Amino acid sequence: MEHLWDRRKFLGRAAASAASLALARSGSGAPIDRPRPSALHGRYVTHVSVVRVNQIEVTPNRSIGKDEAPDNSPDHIRSRRDAFERGCPNGRMTWAISWLALNDTRQEYKDARRLLASYHERFGDEITFIPGGYFAPMYDTREHIRETIHKALQLISAMVGGGYRPECMVAGFMDAENQNFLATEEGIHVCQGQIWSQHGIDNGDGDGGICYPYYPSREHYLKPAQGAADFIDCVCLDGWTCDFLAARRDGFQGGFNSRLGVGPIETVGNLGVEAGRKEMMDTTAIHFDRGHALNGFGWVTGIWEVSVGHDQDLTWWLQAVKERWADVQVLTEGAFGLEWRKHTPSNAALDYRFDENGTGAPGSEKDFRIRWFMNRKFRLALLNDLSTDSPALVSDFTRYDLKAQEPQQLQREWSLMNVLNQKGTRLQDRPVRLEQLPPEDRRRIYSRYPELKNLG
């Protein structure tokens, strides 16, 4: 039998002070830490649970995978909500319901819909729609997706009653045109519209974006809007918080899971209770300790299908998070996105930084360090092998000032890749030292982060 990880091991470990965090060194020994001013402060968790009929409902009349109806019963939904409440009694969560689950005439789905509506009334939970089983743009036309979204939102308003309207939509991946549609036609200004760094897993690829909130460009959903001309007033949110070192891989490259992080399938499901829960907390700490010090706020998120279970792991994780970081707020997806929107009118001040030393989980090597710099103009990743004295390598440099275009046909590849991409799927994606980048790219980087000149 699995040995349960002792939560006290986490709770007794004091968070590192901001001063000690500032002592972290780059590969060349030069400190590059500078806390970034942020209008949004605090630590935030958003949790989404999905209720569906089939495993991946790519269109209203086409599904991929197995029938999961027995695992989406009212009892399973009730178990998930009870687990969430045990973990965070005053928290609010988001429920995303699929097209088939909205329209299924079986009694258990009628009961499930009534149950979800009662959760909004009792707890303030958000009830919203998930189109396309995470992959709507990969399998359906923009026009048809738009029609489905409009009809589904009407069904949800009728289901919940009282003039209810969700504040966000959960989509997995959503094209820029339809995120603009949400804002301008449906009055919804938050969309979980990208799955950060997903490539080579499941039914859609989408690497190249920013893992924290941003306003997307009309050109491409992964490109932050560069100004008023391409601005979409819909806050685009990531779907899963992942370990940055694991996420640098393509799919299962090297036998590792690139989606390793706070999700239960990749952690507890694959690693066992002790190691899995440790990785969930280690990934959370990347954002709530170091990330909070660098960015002024931290955000951790995940989407757990009701059908996958792991309710005990949800309770444990929420309790551990609340006890280790007492100030954490557990909000609905829409509430978090609108709070960010209230403080952040455009992408002009975006300057996210993340700094991770490997957690020791498979794919997150303890002797590696990765640092991310993400702003409106570009994203940059620096990778260090701490077991050597070699300088940092650029493992990703994606420019957002370049013209971008989304696919115009149905396909699984929706990534934004240009100069150098962390997944290594193209010949040009070999990591290089900073001084090996073209001079104009070095000027872009150093003008934004002059301290990186010392990396050599």
Q: Which amino acid is at 135?
A: F
Q: Which amino acid is at 21?
A: L
Contacts (Cβ under 8 Å, ≥6 apart) of 413: 205, 407
pLDDT per residue rounded down to tens, the chain (456 residues): 333 334 434 344 333 333 333 333 333 333 344 445 558 999 999 999 999 999 999 999 999 989 999 999 999 999 999 999 999 999 999 999 999 999 999 999 999 999 999 999 999 999 999 999 999 999 999 999 999 999 999 999 999 999 999 999 999 999 999 999 999 999 999 999 999 999 999 999 999 999 999 999 999 999 999 999 999 999 999 999 999 999 999 999 999 999 999 999 999 999 999 999 999 999 999 999 999 999 999 999 999 999 999 999 999 999 999 999 999 999 999 999 999 999 999 999 999 999 999 999 999 999 999 999 999 999 999 999 999 988 999 999 999 999 999 999 999 999 999 999 999 999 999 999 999 999 999 999 999 999 999 874
- DSSP letter, residue 289: I
Q: Where are the domains of the chain?
A: 39-349, 352-455
Torsions phi, psi of 128, nearest 5? -145, -175
Contact 63, 56 (CB under 8 A): yes
A 10 A CB-CB count for 311 gives: 21
- CATH 3.40.50.10680 assigned to 352-455: no
pTM above threshold 0.85: yes
**Most distant CA pair in the chain, distance:** 66
Indicate if 352-455 has the same CATH topology as 39-349. no
> Which three-class secondary structure state does DSSP give residue 23?
coil
pLDDT confidence of residue 38: 57
Spatial separation of the C-alpha atoms in residues 134 and 238, rounded to whole Å: 12
CB contact burial 222-233 (16+ within 10 A = b; e otherwise): bbbbbeeebbbb
pLDDT confidence of residue 39: 80
Specify the CATH number of the domain 39-349. Answer: 3.20.20.510
Torsions phi, psi of 7, nearest 5? -60, -25
Which residue is it, tokens 């499901």? 269
- 37 exposed, middle or buried (CB, 10 Å; 0-12, 13-18, 19+)? exposed
Which residue is it, tokens 């319901």? 97
> Which three-class secondary structure state does DSSP give residue 218?
coil
Give whole-number Cα distances, 369 to 20, 84, 95, 287, 387, in Å.
Answer: 17, 33, 35, 15, 10
Among 343, 346, 337, CA closest to 228:
346
Strand positions, DSSP E, 91-131: 94-97, 126-129
pLDDT confidence of residue 455: 76
- DSSP letter, residue 70: G
